[in-house]
Amino acid sequence: MNFIELSNGVKMPRIGFGVYQIKKNECERCVSDALEIGYRLIDTAQAYYNEEEVGLAVKKSGIKREDIFITSKIWISNEGYEKARRSIDESLRRLNLDYIDLLLIHQPFGDYYGTYRAMEEAYKNDKLRAIGVSNFYPDRLIDICKFVDIKPMVNQIETHVFNQQKESHEIMNRYNIVHESWGPFAEGRKNFFDNKILMDIGKKYNKTVGQVALRFLFENDIVVIPKSVHKDRMQENFDIFDFELEKDDLEIIKNMDERESAFFSHYDSQMVEWLTSV
């Protein structure tokens, strides 16, 4: 397993398995499959409603707890110190764990400073091994770094070949924050898996579009957490460590950056109204 070191010395796998949009009745099987293949990082969230199933698969796997890295996220409805504090204990209970490896603030809305204080406290009490944020773009990220005791160790943001987040990446480097990608395939949008450029590059290395896309992020020091409910695809997405993209190919993919979300902007007022009312 390939690891990246967080600012507090904790080692985080550089590839993981995401369980967003995996239904409760399928999640345990998917996580078991992923663990069997060799994934050791599982990315869930309170808002995915499948923490329990993740916990069940982890318990049943028989893999030593210290060899698995579990990420979860606090949703906006649990924002603020008191609610966040309770919700951390609820996540621990649902996951059936004594500690969570990485807990993130899911969205930069509401009293997320209160949420963060509850996370700092849980971190100091050994309930969390690392803390961080998600969907924090440069302005929010710098702001939180300036006004908290323990700086976020990870920022998970939409990142894929069409939205490479170079500015965010530089700022994360400056603050010693690991960049983690969500939606490494843009969830298949923009005809992702039929992309001719990635397909042609893949042919050179005998690799698929998905593998080239993940390898590109990996080579740019970005942690990836692809999701699939199909075991063969989980295996495919995991097999990215036996090739290296040549400089020219890295350059071609760099030029695919459209510098724009394939989903929505966190600065779109209608989106903010919707997200904060979910």
Ligand X SMILES: NC(=O)c1ccc[n+]([C@@H]2O[C@H](COP(=O)([O-])OP(=O)(O)OC[C@H]3O[C@@H](n4cnc5c(N)ncnc54)[C@H](OP(=O)(O)O)[C@@H]3O)[C@@H](O)[C@H]2O)c1
Q: Which residues bind ligand X (CB under 6 A)?
A: 18-20, 43, 106, 134-135, 156, 182-188, 193, 210, 225-230, 233, 236-237
Do the bridges between strand 11-13 and strand 3-5 make them parallel or antiparallel, or are there none, so unpaired? antiparallel
What is the rounded CA–CA span in Å between residue 42 and residue 194? 27
Residues paired with 204 in a beta bridge:
none
* Lookup result for tokens 């204990």: 89
Q: How many Cβ atoms sit within 10 Å of the Cβ of residue 30?
A: 24
User: Which residues, in sequence order, are CB contacts of 234 under 8 Å at separation 6+?
Assistant: 17, 30, 33, 34, 37, 39, 228
Residue 157 C-beta: closest distance to ligand X, Å: 8
What is the rounded CA–CA span in Å between residue 200 and residue 154? 33
Name which of 191 and 248 has its Cβ closer to ligand X: 191
48 is catalytic: yes
What is the rounded CA–CA span in Å between residue 171 and residue 149? 18
Reading phi first (left if > 0) and then psi (alpha if -120 to 50, else beta), residue 269 is in alpha
Residue 247 C-beta: closest distance to ligand X, Å: 25
Name which of 34 and 92 has its Cβ closer to ligand X: 34
What is the rounded CA–CA span in Å between residue 155 and residue 83? 22
Residue 22 C-beta: closest distance to ligand X, Å: 7
Name which of 73 and 127 has its Cβ closer to ligand X: 73
Element (H, E) at 196: helix 196-205
Name which of 123 and 185 has its Cβ closer to ligand X: 185
Residue 148 C-beta: closest distance to ligand X, Å: 19
Residue 92 C-beta: closest distance to ligand X, Å: 19
CB 66 within 8 A of CB 106: no
In 3D space, the residue among 255, 192, 183 whose CA is nearest the CA of residue 224 turns out to be: 183
Residue whose C-beta lies closest to ligand X? 18
What is the rounded CA–CA span in Å between residue 4 and residue 71? 15
Catalytic residue of the set 20, 39, 48, 112: 48
Name which of 152 and 226 has its Cβ closer to ligand X: 226
Active-site residue list: 48
